[in-house]
Structure 1
Amino acid sequence: MKKRRLQWLMAMGMVWAACFLFPARFLTVPAHASADDRPIYIVHVHDTINPGLQDFIEHAIETAEKDSAECLIIELDTPGGLVTAMRGIVKAMMNAKVPTVVYVSPSGAQAASAGVFITAAADVAAMAPGTNIGAAHPVTATGGDVPETMNEKVLNDLVAFVKSIAEERGRNAKWLEEAVRKSVSVTAEEAFAQNVVDLVAQDLPDLLKQLDGWQVQRKGYQRTIHTHGKAMVPIEPGWRHKVLRAISNPNIAYILLMIGLAGLYFELSQPGVVLPGVIGAISLVLAFYAMQTIPVNYAGFILIVLAIIFFILEIKVASYGMLSLAGTLCLILGSLMLFHVPGQPFRVAMPVFIPTVLTVSAFFAGVAALVFRAQMKRPQVGVEALIGAEGTVTQALNPEGKVFVQGELWSAESDRPIAEGARVRVVAVRNLKLHVTGINDK
């Protein structure tokens, strides 16, 4: 009996010892225990380069790193976008702990302007036949040239940036510099021949076939990509990324700001309407959220707020339109300056700016005029409404009697006798007794 108990205790001790000596084997199972289990993540980018897209790409890279993905494929089709968002995406790709593949696809797609930098920053750059890449010269948000005083500074900065990417990734630095300086553009086959991209793939299966066994080398990083038999996992943008991508456009952020200020202004001038205030508050929150990701010139923002203050004062102060004029001027200057940050070649587009300023200014001035007219209008109810009203004497005034005014019979008095049936006008009200004067019949 004692021998059996001793054997049982020895067995239990061996089990506990094994658990402590080999915890990884007995207590944990890695999410991807072998290289064969690594998935291939893919994201589809068919949009302008904006802060919302930057946030989504950074999220996709973090997800791929966390899940030890084999690689992250970015299917790209973009006309370009904001420099700041492009720099953020390139930075995330250059420092990613998983191989990144940019595939300009499908046929007819392009990697223009900011898309050139993103394609060049990938570990593997690929294009589908019928696509093109290039035209990376910086322009403003409206498509015009950057002002001459700023053009050289911005251009030289972007040239240095794209050359550093080319040197890091072993691409054709000379062609990439010309894409920025001269807006040159090439087809997929020409880009491959000039070492701008690494391969040309007919479609996604062809891309995966060519990627299988591809060696990715960076400073302190080396990986062989294996794609055969790997699961393809798409990464879809969540509601947060969708909203941010929609409102990160400076034009949309500006319109939301104007709607928000107009709604709150209407609610303050006409308390109790509620709906304009609710819409205004929501629009302002969305505008402020977007402005966190867009470089903002706060002098412009302060001028817009000052314009709202002037419009509100127009309601309280009889300035004969001078405050409304000052508010309109501040609104125009503030709108021009709002996203005009030195070094950033974009601002509110004129087709958006002009009708928005005119509409909002007219709205503010119209509401101020309505409120001012309501304040100056003679009261329609109460004792004050009787002043100036006309009526008929029903009981002769000598000096007191009765008059019929606004459908009611009132006690009245007059400074001189007035006969019954005569027409009178109310000039004062004292203790619910009307003081009237006669009206001469013509």
Structure 2
Amino acid sequence: MKKYSTSPKGRLVKEGLTISLCLKRLIFVCVLAVGIWGSIWPGNAATDQAQIVFIPIKGTIEPGMSGFVERSLDKAFRMGAKKVVLEIDTPGGLIDSAQKIKSLVFASKVPTAAFVSGEAKSAGVLVALAAEEIYMSPAASIGAAEPTPNTEKVRASWRSDLESAAEARGRRADIVAAMVDRNMVIENVKKKGEILSLSAKKAVELGIADQTVRNRNGLLTELAQKDGVYYQAVDITPGWGETLAWWIINPFVAPLLLLIGFAGLMAEAFTPGWGVGGTIGLVALGIYFGGHMMAGVTGWLAIFVFILGVVAILLEIIVIPGFGAAGIIGLALVVWGIFLASTSPLQAFISLTVATVGSIVLIYIMIKVLGHRGMFTKLILGTKLDSASGYNSPKKGMEKYLDLTGVALTPLRPAGSAELAGDRVDVVSDGRFIPQGSWVKVILVEGARIVVKPVQSTKNEEV
């Protein structure tokens, strides 16, 4: 049987051993915790932390988007981002807008990557090729970049843009050229007459894309391992004003706004004073031009030219009789203003065609339903030259009036009307001015043309 000392010295030794053992265990636990924490915490000394900015390239590529990309790249640089990712899902858009985005990406002070989450078609191909790295989701596609209009000149220029971007980033220029040119043939890749479009897997095989990643999280993991940093994602999204502007300049919305604007002003021509139609028309035109200005497509010049054209047309309708130089100049200025405001000449032509055809249909309906009212009476002669008013159209057998005497119903300068044998007939004088109410005699009949000369009275005494 063991015996333990109960002396003060024995108790001190035992307590010292216990405290020492506890301290060793505490130190071991702390070291273990620090090791585990350091292995799972990405912001440790062995790994840096940085921001990665995502810029969405979604929907139609147009001038508003190029302006948004420019502002986003500048913001990414100012916030000290380590990388910018263009998140692409677009069916294409305007070539000149894609070219501007390409130039912006090439000039970016922040390293760039493209992530094709859906599709990169047409103009979207150039945007993707501009980035230094290209990643695609497994279900994504890239290609089908045939231009519209597909003329030889446009096609050659567009093809050279894609080839130069691919070569600058070390990618196969022949593959991207096949996305534009139907006549190209690439063995085991593309036949003649086809436009090349690649799946994500095929794009990686042919060197157009670098790698496929499942989603954004997969992309962040891949970039973190590749760059040796822990990325904190930051999204830059368009503001409500930019979103509204993009909606207004949509190729389907813009023509409708222009049609509503024209139709509203046309409707105002059938009503006295100023009403709802004119107000709606002005609001629609204001939205049309304002949206294009907000999107960076146009400036004040387009609005000034358009307003000047409308003023010229109103002057022609209200002040100046007939339709002459003011009306022609006004129409030309209106057309010019639309071309200045539109995203492209083709879009301007489409918008004007829709607005013009729609306005013609509206005018026809309003004439049938409302008749001639308001300012519209300035454009159309309302007086009817019918038989009830004493007007008769020329008929065959006008020779019966030869040598007859009658009275000039209107001044003959030299054309006018005269009463012959009780009929109101269109006549011309023999070159002289004949006042209204003068006696005249028919001296020549040629078909429907009746020539008269002045006489003193029914006795046929010449003046």
- Residues 44-66 of structure 1: per-residue CA shift (max 9 Å, x gap): 33301111221222222111111
Looking at structure 2, the residues matched to 49 and 302 of structure 1 have their Cα atoms a distance apart, in angstroms, of: 27
Secondary structure, in 3 states, of the residue corresponding to 2:113? strand
**What is the 5 A alignment of 1:368-387?**
369-372=372-375
Stretch deviating more after TM superposition (203-212 or 92-101): 203-212
Structure 2 equivalent of residue 11 of structure 1: none
Gaps of 5+ in 1: 1-33, 140-144, 215-224, 377-442
Trace 1:28-427 onto structure 2 (pairs within 5 A).
36-105=48-117, 109-139=118-148, 145-146=149-150, 151-182=151-182, 183-214=195-226, 225-228=227-230, 230-260=231-261, 263=264, 270-273=272-275, 276-277=278-279, 280-281=282-283, 283-284=285-286, 286-287=288-289, 289-290=291-292, 293-294=296-297, 309-310=312-313, 313-315=316-318, 319=322, 334=335, 338=339, 346-348=346-348, 354-363=353-362, 366=366, 369-372=372-375
Shift in CA distance, 78/349, structure 1 to aligned 2, threshold 3 Å: farther
Conserved? CA contact 2:262–2:355, under 8 Å: no
SS at match of 2:147: coil
Q: Which amino acid in 1 is paired with 2:205?
A: A
* Structure 2 counterpart of 1:131, one-letter code: A
CA contact (8 A) 2:98 2:126 kept: yes
Count of matched residue pairs: 313
Give, in angstroms, the shift of residue 100 of structure 1: 1.6
> What is the TM-score with the length of structure 1 in the denominator?
0.59
User: In the alignment, is the contact (CA less than 8 A) between 1:304 and 1:335 conserved in 2?
Assistant: no
Deviation sequence 1:45-96 (CA, Å, 0-9, x none): 3301111221222222111111111212222111100011111111111111
Give the aligned residue type for 1:356. Answer: A
- Helix, strand or coil at the partner of 2:48: helix
Q: Give the match for residue 402 of structure 1.
A: none
8 A Cα contact 1:247 1:253, kept in partner: yes
What is the CA–CA distance in structure 2 between the aligned matches of 1:349 and 1:227, rounded to whole Å?
51
C-alpha distance in 2, partners of 1:86/1:186? 20
Paired with 1:313 and 1:90, the residues of 2 have a C-alpha distance of 47
What is the CA–CA distance in structure 2 between the aligned matches of 1:346 and 1:172, rounded to whole Å? 32
Which moves more between the two structures, 305-314 or 199-208? Answer: 305-314
Distance verdict in 2 for CA 1:340–1:194, change over 3 Å: farther
Q: Give the secondary structure class of the aligned counterpart of 1:38.
A: strand
Q: 1:285/1:353 Cα in 2 relative to 1: closer, same or farther (>3 Å)? A: closer
Amino acid at match of 1:179: M
Instruction: Report what 1:424 is aligned to.
Output: none
- In the TM superposition, residue 120 of structure 1 has moved relative to its aligned partner by 0.7
Between the aligned partners of 2:337 and 2:288, the Cα distance in structure 1 is 20
Verify the 8 A CA contact 1:42 1:73 in the aligned structure 2: yes
Structure 2 vs 1, CA of residues 336 and 260 (structure 1 numbering), >3 Å: closer, same or farther? closer
d(CA) in 1 for partners of 2:211 and 2:232?
A: 22
SS in 1 for 2:115: strand
- Distance in 2 of aligned mates of 1:45 and 1:56: 10
Identity level (%)? 26
Q: Distance in 2 between matches of 1:340 and 1:243?
A: 16
Shift, 1:135, TM fit: 0.8
Give the match's secondary structure for 1:237. coil
1:340/1:347 contact within 8 Å kept:
no
- Using the size of structure 2 for normalisation, the TM-score is 0.56
RMSD between aligned residues: 4.3
Distance in structure 2 (CA, Å) of the matches to 1:340 and 1:56: 19
**8 Å contact 2:292–2:341 — kept in the other structure?**
no
